[in-house]
Amino acid sequence: MSPARQICVNYLVPDSIIARRISDTNILNILQRIRLSIFPGNQATESEPNDSRKYLHSFLLHFRPATVPERSLKLSLTWGLGGMAAVLVFVLFATGLMLKFVYQPSPGAAYDSIAYLNTQVPFGQLVRNLHRWGANGLVFISFLHFLRVFYTGAFVAPRQFNWLIGLTLFAAIVLSNFTGYLLPWDQQAYWAVTISTSMLDYIPWVGTGLKEGILGGSEPGKATLMNFYAIHTAILPALLLFFLPFHFWRIRKAGGLVIPRSAAEPPDIRGAEVNTMPNLIAREVTMALVLLAVLLILSMLLNAPLADQANPGLSPNPTKAPWYFMGIQELLMHFHPLYALLVIPLLLVFGLLSLPYISYEVETAGVWFASVKGRKMALVAVVLATAATVASVWLDEFVINSGLSSTPGMTANGLLPFAFVLTACAGFYILMKRGFKASNNEAIQALFTLLMTAFVVVTVIGIWFRGAGMQLMWAG
Amino acid sequence: MENQTLSRRSFFNRLWTLLGTLAFAELIALLIIYFKPRKSRTAATNQDAIIIAGSVDSFEPGTVTAFVRGKFYLARLDDGGFLALSRSCTHLSCTVPWVSGKNRFICPCHSSEFDIRGDVISPPAPRALDLYPVAIENNVIRVNATRPERRSEYAADQIVYPGKT
Ligand code: HEM
Ligand code: FES
């Protein structure tokens, strides 16, 4: 038989089966027919009454393989963090769509529409709380997810590109949060956005143009609200809807998650496979329900704040950027703006982007902290970075500048401290590598830990230890 | 023959790449122009372009008067000269109030301080407060509040004096 004929014959076979099925449907009642039209794969007959569950399962399994390695189900691999982030994205889409029916994006109406939502719309305040706490939770949880992916070595091949997709998702989430922050148009929002966008002014050449492009003018106003609303409710959601499935698809393409193992076990260990349903799905649903319960309780107990209506003539004291920008605002207190806003962030982003493309001496994917030694080195980095960061903030504040800084020259406040920090990092790397006789995996991990800890510490200082007039103080 | 088709192909490939790049650049330029801040989008402030502040005599020397509509302060210095100071802090754009008891502007956000001429007394503000152009005709003060002018510090030629009539 020629190949062409064979295709013909093969093509005919399913046809005849379909024809038989259609004649069979005559014996079904209307509900069964509707169900068959939605799930045409198989029919549930009385002899196999449980089959309908399979359809549901195959739907839930869309993104999943039929089986997963038993080892990757361990809570201590993922801590459910990626799943939690996905659940929060879903909650944010749902509540965001609800808010869209009440909210009015213009300076004259925005504040009142939120106040109306809070006081007149049944469950309006609750929906707003869910959206607000969900959004902040998402920034926090996706940061933790980012840390877990890093510390389990899940960013090297074949997961390199998914690390980049993850960073894109994280950027989209932070920007969503920031653009959403302005929408209530209250004092807190107006001034947080004023000072956050004014930071751009310090970027040479393009900064002011960039700022005015984002604001649609030289200060926040009608055009700003329109811009932020469009970005917050259309552009970033579309971006998320594109990159999230991409993220999940790449996990499948990589053959699933990294397999957690001890450093002694071989890198290609895989272990037994178990059915995705119910083993993985049941865990995910449980996690989602617990998270939803926590979020709901939080949203019932704690209202999203709404300050006075925005007043361009009166800055509240203190005025602070949103909490996830506090690290940058704190840097701005110690470094020349060019370094605080451009050089240091760009270098960090570049470092994060290139992490998966460095060539590593040891294969550590799946091993928490690369090894026992790696864990010790990371611990040293945490302690050292905490002490050094607190000490230098204190020194800079009370000894070197005795007061708030950042006016004096580029060299004194920019190049000099920057070169100092850079040298300290390089010295740290070399000392750790030699001192511990470590692989470059472990040493790079220690350096990453050092920088992340420093970032978290400056963020914490900015959030809790800066009071009126941004003076350093010792409690909230 | 083979060679010729190849080079024709590569010629077209290059042409497409070039045209594609041009079209892309055009698209980017279009987007930039579309999103550039437009006058009409900020119209509300533009109607207040020229503000008539009042007559010279209504301002005592050594005082600062706030103009909410123009978003500036009119400062009359001790020697009788005028300056129209932007109310935006040069650090991160908070609105600075005039604290008359201390005779200075004190920013509530990160506590920069400026004197009556807008000069920085205390950082982190990197520059003196921006200025708006002031014109005095027939003893009437007009301030052009369209766009503030940057300056690094106070200089004597920034002051506008009432004409000697
Ligand atoms: C909206 C934010 C995000 C969502 C919803 C999300 C979701 C997920 C989910 C559900 C998983 C499965 C495993 C797990 O639960 O840990 C996963 C894995 C992964 N994520 Fe994310 N993620 C997000 C952001 C990020 C970020 C910021 C990064 C890092 C830059 C990242 C990098 C990865 C990588 C490399 C994997 C594969 C890990 C492995 O194979 O073990 N993701 N993500
Ligand atoms: S905005 Fe005025 S001191 Fe920072």
Ligand index nearest the alpha carbon of residue A165:
1
**Listed residues A311, A338, A361: the one ending a domain:** A311
Task: Judge if A278 and A221 occupy the same domain.
Answer: yes
Task: Judge if A380 and A334 occupy the same domain.
Answer: yes
Contacts of A314 in chain B (CB under 8 A): 95, 97
Please indicate whether, in this complex, the C-beta atoms of A213 and B71 are within 8 angstroms of each other: no
**Listed residues A311, A346, A369: the one ending a domain:** A311
Task: Judge if A148 and A295 occupy the same domain.
Answer: yes
B123 close to A (CB below 8 A): yes
Task: Judge if A157 and A275 occupy the same domain.
Answer: yes
Nearest-CB residue to A405 (from B35, B95, B124): B124
The complex's ipTM?
A: 0.78
**Listed residues A41, A62, A83: the one ending a domain:** A62
Q: Say which CATH architecture domain B46-158 belongs to.
A: 3-layer Sandwich (2.102)
Please indicate whether, in this complex, the C-beta atoms of A313 and B45 are within 8 angstroms of each other: no
In a domain, A319, yes or no: no
Tens digits of residue pLDDT in A9-28: 444 445 545 555 555 667 77
Please state the pTM of the whole predicted model.
Answer: 0.84
pLDDT at A32: 81
Residues B143, B148, B149, B154, CA torsion sign = positive
Q: What is the span of the domain harbouring residue A101? A: 65-311
Provide the residue-wise pLDDT of chain B in tens; the chain has 165 residues.
455 667 888 888 899 999 999 999 999 999 888 877 765 544 444 555 787 777 777 887 878 888 877 788 888 888 888 888 888 888 888 888 888 888 888 888 877 888 888 888 877 788 888 888 888 888 888 888 777 888 888 887 888 887 743
Task: Judge if A285 and A393 occupy the same domain.
Answer: no
B110 close to A (CB below 8 A): yes
pLDDT at A410: 61
In a domain, A295, yes or no: yes
Task: Judge if A38 and A130 occupy the same domain.
Answer: no
Task: Judge if A43 and A106 occupy the same domain.
Answer: no
Task: Judge if A23 and A109 occupy the same domain.
Answer: no
Which residues 14-73 of B are in CB contact (within 8 Å) with A?
A: 35-38, 41-42, 44-45, 68, 71
The residues of chain A scoring below 70 in pLDDT are: 1-25, 40-62, 399-412, 467-476
Contacts of B88 in chain A (CB under 8 A): 219
A319, A325, A332, A339: which to substitute to probe chain B, counting the most B Cβ within 10 Å? A319
In a domain, A318, yes or no: no
Computed over every residue of chain A, the mean pLDDT equals 85
